[in-house]
Amino acid sequence: MITPAKIIQKKRDGGELSPAEIEGFIRGLNSGEVADYQATALMMAVFFKGMTPDETVALTRAMLESGERCELKSVPGFKVDKHSTGGVGDKVSLILAPLAAACGLKVPMMAGRGLGHSGGTLDKLESISGFQLRPSPARFEEILRTVGCAIIGQSETVAPADKRLYALRDVTATVDCIPLIVASILSKKAAEGTQGLVMDVKVGNGAFMKERADARRLARMLVEVGAKLGLQVRAVLTDMNQPLGYAAGNAIEVQECIEVLRAGIEPERKSDSEAGSGDLKELTVQLCAHMIEMAGVTRNRIEARKLAHLKLADGSAWKVFQDMVQAQGGDLSQVLDPSRLPRAARRITWKAPKRGFVSRINTQAMGEILVELGGGRKRAADPVDFGVGLIFHKKLGSRVQAGEPLATVLAPTPFDLAPLESFFLESIEISGSRKPVPRLILETL
């Protein structure tokens, strides 16, 4: 008889699990016959011993088949989604979903919560009062038909095995494991009814994949496993050696997204930071162009970029964002006036200790600071403070004078910020000369 313990032992010793063994383990996880500690043991064995492509396909399929699937056959148009492997300040989805919809695509986006030092799209959207993350399947389809996009959370019936493993990975140091990442992402994406998927695979000190070679391995496995599940998958490797945009924190990131969406029709509006959102806008347009090209809306990616820029500049994407928020029950008044979004009571400035150029940012440390402030989770059940955050005033390569602001902290009261300020200053390197800044888009697979 094959027991969970024997499966764990086989993987621990470097053996290749059969589809039947993987399916049986996931089925036991769903039924409660496999305990959390056994699931954790198997994930740790996978972390150290890895999985073959066939094992990863079997794991993904078992997680997919552990629950229900959205067919979306009643929704006309090409269904395409985007997923990021996570980072700090990565709020692309909030702009990209309505932008792609404005370009004629249907975007059924099943997003996640914060994982480790990385923020989560669902946590950001929940900072908008009333925003419903779990509409009924019928309502989900209706929003897709009428608005063109919907960003939802994972329901209890969609890939439930992934939901359980996802929470355990966050607290057992198994987040950055390629087979587990692939199975988690693709089981949800296949379940949501999408036909195409653009993957934003982050690389750098703020990403789960620190090295480009590891990110490339992850990207290739996503493409390969996706193809075997009948999904078109394109992977784009992008830099995460500094926070994306100027904001990190749930409500303040929503505000930054609103600023980007409104910029075309309200160019005079000022942001909270001179660092700006140029990299955020550029990455969003580039990923949207891949989605448009995949759907066949334009002849090539050059035309697709032009279309994305147009729909961002003329306010079309901003209108779709408002429609999506309203359709999902969000308080539209907070979107129209972002000052009504949650905001921590204290604003403290952390300043540069000397003059020079910002040459390195420990981006993971920035995410860890946000978690310490309450903007992320140390344990799966932890509440999140939507109002805390970091506003970055300088990017890599920026010139800075001694005493000039590096970041503004939105902090709860009371809270001892001194240890975090020391950690922050240790995580920023200021050099006498400007060093090359990494390219935002590294490669496409």
pLDDT in tens, 363-407: 999 999 999 999 998 776 788 999 999 999 999 999 999 999 999
Residue 214 has pLDDT above 70, yes or no: yes
Percentage of residues in the chain having pLDDT higher than 70: 99
- Report the pLDDT averaged over residues 223-248: 96
Residue 60 predicted with pLDDT over 70: yes
CATH architecture of the domain formed by 342-431: Alpha-Beta Complex (3.90)
Q: Which residue has the tokens 């690389």?
A: 203
**For all residues of the chain together, what is the average pLDDT?**
94
pLDDT of residue 271: 72
pLDDT of residue 116: 72
| Edge-first strand listing for the sheet containing 356-361 | 399-400, 356-361, 428-431
Say if residue 150's pLDDT is above 90: yes
Class of domain 80-339: alpha beta
For CATH 3.90.1170.30, the residue range(s) in the chain are: 342-431
Q: How far apart are CA 368 and CA 374, in angstroms?
A: 10
Residue 272 has pLDDT above 90, yes or no: no
More confident residue, 155 or 328: 328
Average the pLDDT over 200-224 and give the result.
Answer: 95
- CA 288 to mean position of chain CA atoms: 15
Predicted confidence (pLDDT) at residue 45 exceeds the cutoff of 70: yes
Average pLDDT over residues 18-46: 95
The pLDDT value given to residue 169: 86
Rounded Cα distance, 309 and 260, in Å: 12
The model's confidence at residue 156, banded by pLDDT at 50, 70 and 90, is confident
- What CATH number has the domain spanning 4-50? 1.20.970.10
Token pair of 19 as six digits: 């589809």
pLDDT at 155 > cutoff 80:
no
Q: Who's near 16: CB < 8 A, 6+ residues apart?
A: 52, 54, 55
Range(s) within the chain of domains with CATH label 3.40.1030.10 = 80-339
Q: CATH 1.20.970.10: which residues of the chain?
A: 4-50
Give whole-number Cα distances, 1 to 6, 21, 376, in Å. 9, 11, 42
The band of 353, judged by pLDDT with boundaries at 50, 70 and 90, is very high
**149-152 and 107-110 as β-strands: parallel, antiparallel, unpaired?**
parallel
Give 441: exposed, middle or buried? Use CB within 10 Å, 0-12, 13-18, 19+: middle
419 pLDDT above the threshold of 90: yes
Give the model's pLDDT for residue 43.
96
For the cut 80, the answer to whether the pLDDT of residue 445 exceeds it is: yes
Q: Assess whether pLDDT exceeds 80 at residue 254.
A: yes
Q: What per-residue confidence (pLDDT) applies to 270? A: 67
Give the side-chain half-sphere CA count within 13 A for 52.
Answer: 11
- Among 150-164, 238-252, 345-359, which stretch is predicted with the lowest mean pLDDT? 150-164
Average pLDDT over residues 340-346: 96
Model confidence at 267: pLDDT above 70: no
3-class state of residue 198 by DSSP: strand
Model confidence at 1, pLDDT cuts 50, 70, 90, reads confident
Q: What is the mean pLDDT of residues 94-123?
A: 92
Is a pLDDT exceeding 80 seen at residue 67? yes
The model carries a pTM of 0.92
- Span 325-354, average pLDDT: 97
pLDDT attached to residue 435: 95
Task: State the catalytic residues.
Answer: 83, 162, 169, 184, 188
> What would the mean pLDDT of 171-194 be, rounded to a whole number?
89
Mean pLDDT, residues 351-356 taken together: 98
Q: Which residues are registered as beta bridge partners of 392?
A: 407
**Residue 164's pLDDT band (cuts 50, 70, 90):** confident
Longest alpha-carbon distance in the chain: 70
> How distant, in Å, are the alpha carbons of 36, 203, 356, 360, 443 from that of 435?
47, 19, 11, 9, 21
